[in-house]
Structure 1
């Protein structure tokens, strides 16, 4: 028996001793049928593994369970080990089995050679497979030849020379699968494996990546099959357009995943010519209408110029700018504010893991100035990471990486526990940032409620709601706010004027404080638009009996506007710099307040 691939391309063969030949099963396999050998193509394993990696990269998964058969371990040992190598950084559970018979499309099939992966997740967390393992496919070749030699040997022992024809066909099929491994069936474009191979032969130095922004909505509306058909149509349109503007085929296009394709050019094409093509591409394909489709396809573009690992840089740039309201991004060799490189990310991850191991998550506190009483009214708790060498890192350095690699919840847990512990028996009012990540997490909600039950004065706390990711369920947010208010906790909306554009939803929350986005305040003395916006927010706050806090008050010119508008609270370096607990001028604390003028207090 030879099992050639699975499900739809399977071929069940039997040796008829009486007739002296091999024939194919066209019906269900009779009971008690015995098999001599099962074979599955290693290149099919590679293709399936690549497809699984692409799926897992966009699917919430915490744990992977896998089972593979004994045949795979004995005769595809290199392949069996390699298939799971993209997940070497994660815990994988599973077992080897002897194989199984499964009924597929009305036909019983012997699935010796099967490898099954199952992913589970309770929360929206993602495993990020290491797709660089696809760079070294040469390691699989030895297994392929060994297996073919083994099959040939067994066939010679069992059948006559006529049957070697079947092995020739099998080898042809093997070569065909190897070719298809580097092509996407839906678009006809080369995939990432193909790109890596060709980039080694003729290095590229310019890239434009196109990401379908509303892919998830299109899948939901049209279904996966129709979406893939749509993807093929879009790829065809882009290829047709590029051929019309680049007659000498100076651009090569590839498909990265079901939402992202990219085109690259080498040094032979000038940067000026490349950017001219990119701008024309953007003008035509930012919004795409496909014949027969009511929905508009929305695309986002990122350009990478003269950098190593251009695909990685493009993906990182898209991730780092996912909140920006722009559809065209450029990451070139002079881009000081570009996305983090892998080396930089690993450095940040090392800092964070050391902090978690060495108690390096430390709350700092910044005073919030009451413009009526001319004193510090309360304090905002701000997360800092202190490395083993004493270096202090602010969230701007590490927060995106912490969220990307699922370390954020661990940092937040340490932060909240320390703040509640420090102020358990104190009367000062403390404001804590609580993000959508936290509210969407059952574990973090449980931690907050457990702490509120333990501390002596829970009403001294203010929770600042951050909209740093969408709330999965607005009702979950409302329920959480109702529950914490039972402890006397007050609610503030942070960065108002940026994320919370839905005023009706804001009114449903009924916050006690509105903290105005720092980008509005920072340029207040230079922008009439910002001043008009501040007036409108101030009127809104008074109308709904909300206290207003102006963030990023950095100098007297800004503070004068704050006073003119009658805003009660100011927060910023003009009054107080963030400091650790020991530096605060609180009763029982060793710190002291240093006066620096009629309004100026540094902490």
Structure 2
């Protein structure tokens, strides 16, 4: 390959130059036009001439503030850089569609990048956001080197253009790709401004304007540290003291152009709110020394052609020294380029937008080819500098580097800790599986199309029998088994809470066998044997499945709850199934309960309790009722369980406490109120109970009924509550005694006043010998402890007579009265 550089004067001279150098005899030709002449008519004439003389050539170009030719800055020139390739294909593109700048980069990347493409040269108009454009390219392939930059102009009144052989545009992207297996591409850059001081945060920005830094006006910030109060001087020192923006752990320069009237700062490039910045400092002699190092690196690189895409603001800052910087390239006839508003460069496999840098692209089709650059720049040509200035620069540079290193180490630690915390937040500590937080996050991102929830049946019994350590060991092993199976069949697995796991199928993975795989997993779990010492532990599971549903987790939980209620192994959510009808019914009841609460239609109904020895009514039990819109009383059988599951139950208890205490405030009757474990666990409910007892005239007339099974489940909590209310004067009854797993030993430890014998025993006591024996046993046991007994569900005279014959103290039931709204 070879590059020919010339200035355009007219058609004939161009034609002669091309013929003399036999350029027209080659097939793969790239022509770059570097022009500081913004004359669209002239540019069109040049492109037309080139197309006529070299129709096979691909053309790319842009306007700029000045050109570079053979190691010198040139003005008022139109430079043609013609590169002839032997083994490299050239492809050009122009993008002028009205799409986002990111999409422009994405489109360019998709059209130009292929496995053999080594580099892209691209020029964009300054109306396009270079960072977003490059992000679009990086999303396709960030390793392909993108060189070039942002078009500029020599005079303020001039227009900016970018162009290819297809046309000239003022707002577009132009690019060429270089494709070849034997093309060696390298990119270099010299910046050498240094960050100083600590990091600050841009707290408000819009486009190229910073409005505030660390929540103070941007101009006040700049004046504070630079000491400039005259805004007219800013343009002269803005390049020496730029703001350094941190991107991908690299500090990039953003020159301060001027102040705005509303205390903002205008920069050469866009900046975003939240970005981190530091003040920068540039010293001419040190910047030029950086170029020395750069040229030494190029000498060790395959080079047949070299292109410079340098910065306009760098040129203005260096002034005449800009020519000194590029002077070592004067011996190379294969060198050309220009000064741009922004430069593209690939750093650490990421294409980025720079300003204030000199970037160089080198190309060669021969890995052994070199060009010799005499890199020892004549220091006498530099601006004179004293020893003190050099010492100051080195001091700033060294301390700045140390501060940067400290910041990097701190950031690494923060990132490491953030990663650790994020892992903990999304990971179950016992099993190492993903947890509910991770599943919820993934579902918010619409990641899964199928979800199964796996509930381990009766796992609480394993914890109670073997202890929590054994239970944890079983769960950890079960998690390992589920993970192994899930990995084998491409499913994601989670542990949602103590004994509930989940598996999910990612949306992009098409799998018709999801249900089959869930059935296999169900079988694996149910057949798995876990060992503890010489004991074998077997598990069983219930699974709820939701497929292609909105609110996937919610629907899977509904299916799981339905399966558990109906003792089914696996239940799939279906809009048309009984499950859906149950859900619809639940939602209807929840609305009814909420409406009843809001419209004050929750009320106590009172059922008398008769002394079996005197036959007189001595007590009442307050029973909850919901009054419907037609005035009919609805029994708790229909709504209480739904209120508990929808977190409305505590409101019902509070209403019952308020209305029942109020109903009996002037009564001598003893009255009882039912409590569940949810009430004793609820701090607000407990406090309301204690408050009502303090306010009551006769707290000794108050009885709290606790269901037997509720008391056994959390014995310590219930025992403390009983001691507290009895200390305040109230009495306590155990309700529904004789059902479930009746336990006389725990009853001995509770300081209760009444035992209410369950209605299932009482209704059969006159005709069932077993029921009679159970009732007598409870009565005998209670009398030994000094506890009085109450028979529930006494519905007829024969039952009443039988109850009295076995010496039960009180009776309650429809034989005496149904519950009524008034005493």
Range into which the TM-score falls when normalised by the shorter chain:
0.5 to 0.7
Equivalence map 1:382-421=2 (5 Å) = 382-421=623-662
1:166 partnered with 2:350:
yes
Match of 1:261 in 2: 501
Alpha-carbon shift at residue 421 of structure 1 (Å): 1.3
Residue 602 of structure 2 corresponds to 361
Q: CA deviation at 1:362?
A: 0.7
SS across alignment from 1:510: coil
Give the corresponding residue for 1:284.
527
Please give the alpha-carbon distance, in whole angstroms, between the structure 2 residues aligned to 1:462 and 1:493. 10
Deviation at 1:580, TM superposition (A): 0.8
- 1:408 deviation in Å? 2.7
What is the alpha-carbon distance in structure 1 between the residues aligned to residue 809 and residue 483 of structure 2? 59
Q: Residues 212-266 of structure 1: CA distance to partner in whole angstroms, max 9, x if unpaired?
A: 9459979x9679xx96x975642342466799xxx9x6x9674362442246899
Q: Could you say if the C-alpha distance between residues 528 and 425 of structure 1 is closer, same or farther in structure 2, counting changes exceeding 3 Å?
A: same
Deviation of 1:342 after TM superposition, in Å, equals 5.2
CA gap of 1:288–1:233, structure 2 versus 1, over 3 A, is same
Alignment partners' CA distance in 1, 2:346 and 2:486: 50
Q: By how many angstroms is 1:543 displaced? A: 2.0
Please give the alpha-carbon distance, in whole angstroms, between the structure 2 residues aligned to 1:213 and 1:278: 18
Residue correspondence of structure 1 range 276-425 to structure 2 within 5 A: 280-281=523-524, 283-285=526-528, 288-289=530-531, 301-304=541-544, 312=554, 315=557, 343-425=584-666
Go from structure 1 to structure 2 and tell me whether the alpha carbon gap of 1:411 and 1:33 turns closer, same or farther (over 3 Å shift): same
Taking the aligned partners of 2:721 and 2:501, their CA distance within structure 1 comes to: 40
Q: 1:392 to 1:412 in 2, by over 3 A?
A: same
Which has more radius of gyration? 2
Q: Are residues 572 and 19 of structure 1, via their aligned partners in 2, closer, same or farther at CA, if it must alter by over 3 Å?
A: farther
Decide whether the 8 Å contact of 2:559 with 2:579 is kept in 1: yes
Q: Distance in 1 between matches of 2:605 and 2:794?
A: 18
**Cα distance in structure 2, aligned partners of 1:164 and 1:195:** 34
**Mapping 1:481-496, distance limit 5 Å:** 481-486=722-727, 488-496=729-737
SS in structure 1 at match of 2:755: strand
Give the Cα–Cα distance (whole angstroms) in 2 for the partners of residues 74 and 435 of structure 1: 59
Secondary structure, aligned partner of 1:359 = coil
Indicate which of 467, 478, 489 corresponds to 1:234: 478
Q: Going by fraction, where is strand more abundant, 1 or 2?
A: 2
Query: Deviation of residue 493 (structure 1)?
Result: 0.9
Q: CA deviation at 1:547?
A: 1.8
Deviation at 1:327, TM superposition (A): 9.0
The residue number in structure 2 matching 1:33 is 198
Match of 1:550 among 791, 815, 822: 791
Separation of aligned partners in 1, 2:821 and 2:772: 33
Inter-CA distance 549–447: structure 2 relative to 1 (3 Å threshold): same
What is the DSSP-based 3-state SS (H/G/I as helix, E as strand, rest coil) of the residue aligned with 1:418?
helix
SS in 1 for 2:199: coil
Q: Is the CA contact (8 Å cut-off) linking 2:790 and 2:809 kept in structure 1?
A: yes
Deviation at 1:417, TM superposition (A): 1.5
Cα deviations across residues 67-117 of structure 1 (Å, max 9, x unaligned)? xxx79x999xxxxxxxxxxxxxxxxxxxxx98xxxxxxxxxxx999xxxxx
2-structure distance, mates of 1:396, 1:415 = 16
Decide whether aligned partners of structure 1 residues 294 and 387 sit closer, same or farther in structure 2, where only a CA change above 3 A counts. Answer: farther
Q: Secondary structure in 2 aligned to 1:424?
A: coil
Contact 1:440–1:472 (Cα < 8 Å) also in 2: no
SS of residue in 2 equivalent to 1:580: coil
In 2, Cα distance between equivalents of 1:507 and 1:234: 40
Alignment check: 8 A CA contact 1:513 1:546 kept: yes
Measure the CA separation in 2 of the matches of 1:295 and 1:20.
73
Maintained 8 Å contact 1:452/1:487: yes
1:580 aligned partner: 821
Q: Is the 8 A contact 1:320 1:400 kept in 2?
A: no
Q: Do residues 433 (structure 1) and 674 (structure 2) align?
A: yes
> Can you list the C-alpha shifts for 1:483-528, whole angstroms capped at 9, x where unaligned?
4335543221112234774534322323221012344445667876
2:96 match: none
Mapped partners of 2:511, 2:615: distance in 1: 63
**Is the CA contact (8 Å cut-off) linking 1:209 and 1:314 kept in structure 2?**
no
Partner of 1:566: helix, strand, or coil?
A: coil
Distance in 1, matches of 2:815 and 2:458, equals 44
> 2:621, 2:671 within 8 Å by CA — same for their partners in 1?
yes
Residue 703 of structure 2: aligned partner:
462
Asked if 1:517 is matched to 2:761, the reply is no
Deviation at 1:564, TM superposition (A): 5.2
Cα 1:475/1:234, change in 2 over 3 Å: closer
Q: How many residues align?
A: 432
SS of alignment partner, residue 425 of structure 1: coil
Distance in 2 (CA, whole Å) between partners of 1:574 and 1:242 is 61
Give the gaps of 5 or more residues in structure 2: 1-187, 208-213, 216-244, 248-270, 276-310, 312-340, 353-422
CA contact (8 A) 1:368 1:379 kept: yes
How does the TM-score come out when normalised to structure 2?
Answer: 0.41
Residues 210 and 486 of structure 1: is their aligned pair in 2 closer, same or farther, counting only changes over 3 Å?
A: closer
The 1:521–1:111 alpha-carbon spacing in structure 2 relative to 1, beyond 3 Å, is farther
Call closer, same or farther: CA 1:439–1:230 in 2, change over 3 Å.
closer
Q: Is the 8 A contact 2:562 2:571 kept in 1?
A: no
Cα distance, 1:419 vs structure 2: 1.2
Q: Which residue of 2 aligns with 1:105?
A: none
**1:356 Cα deviation (Å)?**
3.0
SS at match of 1:578: coil
- In the TM superposition, what is the alpha-carbon distance from 1:316 to its structure 2 partner? 5.0
Are the equivalent residues in 1 in contact too, given 2:546–2:556 (CA < 8 A)? no
Contact 2:708 2:742 in 1 (8 A): no
**Two-structure CA RMSD over aligned residues (Å):** 6.0
Task: Say yes or no: does 1:447 pair with 2:691.
Answer: no
TM-score, length basis structure 1: 0.53
Q: Structure 2 vs 1, CA of residues 278 and 339 (structure 1 numbering), >3 Å: closer, same or farther? A: farther
Q: What secondary structure does 1:33 align onto?
A: strand
